[in-house]
Amino acid sequence: MTSKLTRFEKARIIGARALQLSMGAKPLVKVPESLDPIDIATLELKKKVIPLDIRK
């Protein structure tokens, strides 16, 4: 993830990662108060630790 992500890319990545988390993947950040996978995925994206790439 070099350049800035578009809002579509953000949504797509957060969605894909949240699905992984909901199915039992280990979070790569310290889980915040909220256990919502989307919140966790958003935080992961913010910290740039999501193991996903965009393919155009």
The residue ranges that bind other proteins (CB under 8 A) are 6-9, 11-13, 15-16, 50-56
Measuring CA to CA, which residue among 56, 55, 43, 52 is closest to residue 13? Answer: 52
CB 5 to other proteins: min, Å: 9
Based on CB atoms, which residue is closest to other proteins, 19 or 31?
19
Place of tokens 């393919």: 55
Nearest distance in Å: CB 7, other proteins: 6
- Give the residue with the Cβ less far from other proteins, 24 or 33: 24
**Tokens (6 digits) for 32:** 């915040």
